[in-house]
Structure 1
């Protein structure tokens, strides 16, 4: 309620702004149109159809490659660190895998898609997200809040849709190469080919290599995992009569990463001599869209993925094979004031691994899940000011049965500069525990499932307000504020505290919620200075037996900023980017664990200089992590018992609790789960971009 009160307070202030007339001079008309275009991109993620962002009844945040180039990264996973309310979360202090949190919700609650296809999920959310070439990304669309009425399972807390470039609009050749003072090297290459007049092909290659063994915190373990990754992407657009759509794309990715004892070599893989975590990933994807040759607008979308994982966490072996097939047919029809979208979809998931998750009575039993569904959405435009969207989806899960997810949205266009939107809906996530929680796979703790786990469900409501202000000197100010509340039932929560040697999973005996308010500010001055500011305050809690508990690795406040200034006479741009996070509860092993129970306030800040005075070239360089922050600060260690990673010298009491001994003064076992931020300090970087049109 506090969040809604603040938002309505903002609306009250807006009425005061509206009383004063803003006059835009003729010389500022072009600048104003540019700002409008930035706010009014065409988006598809909110309603599964192309619509201008300000006309969409569902709030969609859009981020272009220009935004991400202000802090160049080697993967989409890292790039999202400067998006307000979105946080890449490391889940392992050794192998550095992670997931994406939206508004404080863990990675499994975020559905990550490529061109609207649900192909980055479950196992691949943890291990496959880093292999998407940045050079092929047209934009990233983010929907905060449940989107299951359109996208089904996993879109419980939010949706990230990675839109790849249209080959017709891509440069003939592009290259983006950079390296850092840690000798991390990233190469993104793209090339366009015209095959006669019928087809255009876009070929992309991403290669990332880091093979240094650096141990700045002096614990005998690598600070950052060594990685060798290659990803190849090919997308085709076919020209058809009446501009009907036909696109098809494929991607293959291979990654070899390891972390652990600095003395580790491949010959120690899986053994108990020297500890290492070694992960081989092979992944293939196929996706496409085909508009049927009918008078009605019928679109067939399809995708298929194969993901193979071969991992060793010390002596623990985790070998998994996941295949996902997806087929969807939609019908888009305008009937008077009604813009109707209906569709049928079916998703098949095959999952097999070498854990108890896929065995019955010690016999292998791969999980095979069918998830057919049908949905309908009606967007009703009563007039230019009022628009309502109603949606309903019915799915039948072959394991969990019937699932119904309704949705509604209302948009009020007060005037061209003031838009108010209210959204409410439900989400669901079917259980796929072992493929999503890396900590459960490392072998450092035993996994215990207390009961049969039920699907998680959520109910969400959010109120969104956009305000545009044009000053008479050409300065532009855009403000977008959202108050949100999500209530969960059947949430699956891990218990790290009952037993330091176990992770105990069970559906919550109560409820959980995520609520808060976020604000994005876009301020553009005519002299080339630009600010993009974001802040989110949230309360994420689990409630059992009337007791409210904040989950581990969940912050109350996050802030992001990008400050850019272009010095046109010398063709130089300066970008200062950063984020700040409030303290998070961290997973300690026992009362005698000497590590801090909460993370400190911390900030990751970067600066970049870009020179664009050469034809088709850009030269860029700068410094990452200006404050040289690492999680080791004010902590005696991050990974416990690195000197005894196989727990050979740990003694236990009758209840299985580690005892305090001379060789184990804190009574701990080896554990890698104490991690909340990247363990990589200040470093420089330099790179070059080339585009040939």
Structure 2
């Protein structure tokens, strides 16, 4: 049977693999030997499962034309994860920008602006509402609704457009069931240091038929919260001002999907959802809706969908410090694709598609120029991907996307990727891709007037910005046997015409006039700055993994990532919040089908928290590396009730901020969770 036949046969396979944990006492060894992640630990069992993010059509994990990791719902159930971001922390190649105690996902040394978040393949973005300090998009789906998470490391602009220049995180939710089933989870985490805020969550998932074999419904909801850290937790900064800890958060979600199986060839999904996420002073209300048609015909598969959302920011950007100035953003998307086989010189699996996006922002406080209090842009694209089965062991994927942007015209993003199975166990992968990233709606809005410098300066958009252009290459191998698996991948990314984010700025009027992006002064004498294309960056590194199954009960897996991320336009200065070394290791032991324990550890190396735009390292700041370790357990008390508990950060390695650009890491804490299934 060919690999393409396997892809077809396993197209509807479910991800039900057992969680793979790692051991604390092997952490230092794993760092030296280059080991592997939680997601990679499943590779020897995931090889014939289907993934949907790495290609325009479904493909087996083994043949996926990209570096991809998968986190399953069972992984989620077997650890003390608070949200999606806490699951992503153990994936190789991913780091976090923790400025302001946020957790902004970064892939291979490129910050959160280059990471595309999808929910069931549909893009989400709240950048127009909260352009700075925005980590909302990784949290629109509660843990109870997650079936799996697919993470593609590396540019995917040929499929997804300019947002995916760094990589893609696709959160795939649970599907409807043919019988009524549901679950209810309650969890609470208690901080040992009572100056740190406790947190907890409750959530449900319910699914079943409305009309037998015809109409199905799935709905989920959740509420999670975190109490604010005490104002006395951190020491004051050198400037004398207090360093804030974690802010209060309060998040609520409700989402419903109705699926109509019209006949054997056609089905339609109707979806609507509401989320309310509050972080400190900022509250975002998101209203979403969409319709998706799936077709399965003799000639191939089709998918057509329209979806969109409205996001209200009750706090807003503001051009007066500390004052509520709300805004509203609208996102509309339409896309369609058709996938089919074609036997040309070699077997081909071809996908052709098109997309349309429209984004608008209403903000009477920030959009104050001659253009009025709103702004919008649209972007359309056509794409094609062809997976060529050169032999049963060698596949080549050719892809290309042609974008038409309202402001920047036509942009092409080609891609080529090869997968070669040298033996049944040994696979080589590698490829090259190009990408582009258009400036955001606000960055190129000439009537944008945003307060900054604590109210002492302003930021504005720039109509003369150019798109950022990227090029990426990766190559590596993976080896999979029944008792062990390993892999290593090297990558090299370059981006030209980077838009500095946020732009250089200063309140001092005299010094401000020496900045290349200085625009002028407000009526009351405050300097104004604009965005500009001044930076070029290069990121390169190695991602390595190792998984061992010494017994049927024990699994050990780990990862190591080396990252060299530089601003090449500033004398090769390092990029902020990009640790050179990270490592994870986990050990999972199952005593029986009911009882299991896990021990895990995470190492984050030293990293710069602030690097001047000119690369003058005399004024740069950095923090030391740190290690945290967790111990968790799971016990199925009955067939329908599971109890989980554990100790997080066992060694109580709490990190406190000593300056404004640093971050906190919670100390030792205890969690308990109960899940009822019915």
TM bucket (normalised to shorter chain) is 0.7 to 0.9
Q: CA deviation at 1:426?
A: 1.4
Cα pair distance change 1:287/1:86, threshold 3 Å = farther
1:611 aligns to what SS in structure 2?
Answer: strand
Q: 2:645 aligns with which of 621, 635, 638?
A: 621
* Contact kept? 1:339, 1:380, Cα under 8 Å: yes
**Partner residue in 2 for 1:560:** 584
Cα pair distance change 1:484/1:354, threshold 3 Å = farther
**CA–CA separation in structure 2 for the residues paired with 1:558 and 1:388:** 32
1:544 aligns to what SS in structure 2?
Answer: helix
Cα pair distance change 1:330/1:254, threshold 3 Å = same
**Partner residue in 1 for 2:472:** 460
2:177 aligns to what SS in structure 1?
Answer: helix
| Structure 2 residue 664 is the aligned partner of structure 1 residue 691 | no
Instruction: Please list the CA deviations of residues 356-411 of structure 1 after superposition, one character each: whole Å capped at 9, or x if unmatched.
Output: 5x3424x5242211101111111111220111111111111101211111111111
Relative to structure 2, which stretch is displaced further, 236-245 or 222-231?
236-245
Cα pair distance change 1:91/1:432, threshold 3 Å = farther
* Contact kept? 2:302, 2:338, Cα under 8 Å: yes
Higher relative contact order (CA 8 A, sep 6+): 2
| Structure 2 residue 596 is the aligned partner of structure 1 residue 610 | no
Relative to structure 2, which stretch is displaced further, 404-413 or 510-519?
510-519
Q: CA deviation at 1:221?
A: 6.2
Q: CA deviation at 1:324?
A: 1.0
Instruction: Report the RMSD for the aligned CA atoms in angstroms.
Output: 3.0
Q: What is the 5 A alignment of 1:269-280?
A: 278-280=281-283
**CA–CA separation in structure 2 for the residues paired with 1:105 and 1:511:** 12
**Partner residue in 2 for 1:205:** 221
Cα pair distance change 1:355/1:110, threshold 3 Å = farther
| Structure 2 residue 454 is the aligned partner of structure 1 residue 444 | yes
Relative to structure 2, which stretch is displaced further, 331-340 or 117-126?
117-126
Q: CA deviation at 1:246?
A: 2.4
**CA–CA separation in structure 1 for the residues paired with 2:353 and 2:410:** 17
* Contact kept? 1:457, 1:490, Cα under 8 Å: yes
Q: What is the 5 A alignment of 1:176-191?
A: 176-182=185-191, 183-191=198-206
**Partner residue in 1 for 2:350:** 340
Q: What is the 5 A alignment of 1:285-364?
A: 285-292=288-295, 296=299, 297-311=301-315, 315-336=322-343, 337-354=347-364, 356=366, 358-361=367-370, 364=372
**Partner residue in 2 for 1:270:** none
| Structure 2 residue 268 is the aligned partner of structure 1 residue 246 | yes
| Structure 2 residue 237 is the aligned partner of structure 1 residue 232 | no
* Contact kept? 1:140, 1:162, Cα under 8 Å: yes
Q: CA deviation at 1:35?
A: 7.0
| Structure 2 residue 659 is the aligned partner of structure 1 residue 638 | yes
**CA–CA separation in structure 2 for the residues paired with 1:450 and 1:367:** 12
1:568 aligns to what SS in structure 2?
Answer: coil
Name the TM-score, length of structure 2 as normaliser: 0.80
1:108 aligns to what SS in structure 2?
Answer: helix
* Contact kept? 2:453, 2:506, Cα under 8 Å: no
**Partner residue in 2 for 1:23:** none
Q: What is the 5 A alignment of 1:655-670?
A: none
Cα pair distance change 1:448/1:121, threshold 3 Å = closer
**CA–CA separation in structure 2 for the residues paired with 1:56 and 1:496:** 38
Cα pair distance change 1:176/1:186, threshold 3 Å = same
**CA–CA separation in structure 1 for the residues paired with 2:404 and 2:535:** 25
Cα pair distance change 1:486/1:218, threshold 3 Å = closer
Instruction: Please list the CA deviations of residues 415-461 of structure 1 after superposition, one character each: whole Å capped at 9, or x if unmatched.
Output: 2111111121112221127589xxx8765363546963221121111
2:144 aligns to what SS in structure 1?
Answer: helix
* Contact kept? 2:69, 2:91, Cα under 8 Å: no
* Contact kept? 1:246, 1:290, Cα under 8 Å: yes
**Partner residue in 1 for 2:22:** none
2:113 aligns to what SS in structure 1?
Answer: helix
Q: What is the 5 A alignment of 1:362-401?
A: 364-401=372-409
**CA–CA separation in structure 2 for the residues paired with 1:121 and 1:578:** 32
Relative to structure 2, which stretch is displaced further, 440-449 or 209-218?
440-449
**CA–CA separation in structure 2 for the residues paired with 1:531 and 1:435:** 46
* Contact kept? 1:579, 1:604, Cα under 8 Å: yes
Q: CA deviation at 1:188?
A: 1.6
**Partner residue in 1 for 2:18:** none
Q: CA deviation at 1:615?
A: 2.3
Gaps of 5+ in 1: 1-33, 259-277, 471-475, 640-673
* Contact kept? 2:265, 2:296, Cα under 8 Å: no
* Contact kept? 1:513, 1:541, Cα under 8 Å: yes
1:382 aligns to what SS in structure 2?
Answer: strand
Cα pair distance change 1:566/1:200, threshold 3 Å = same
Residue-pair matches, total: 586
Relative to structure 2, which stretch is displaced further, 233-242 or 378-387?
233-242
Instruction: Please list the CA deviations of residues 625-651 of structure 1 after superposition, one character each: whole Å capped at 9, or x if unmatched.
Output: 22333442xx6x333xxxxxxxxxxxx
**Partner residue in 2 for 1:479:** 486
Relative to structure 2, which stretch is displaced further, 455-464 or 518-527?
518-527
Q: CA deviation at 1:576?
A: 1.7
Relative to structure 2, which stretch is displaced further, 384-393 or 55-64?
55-64
**CA–CA separation in structure 2 for the residues paired with 1:605 and 1:500:** 42
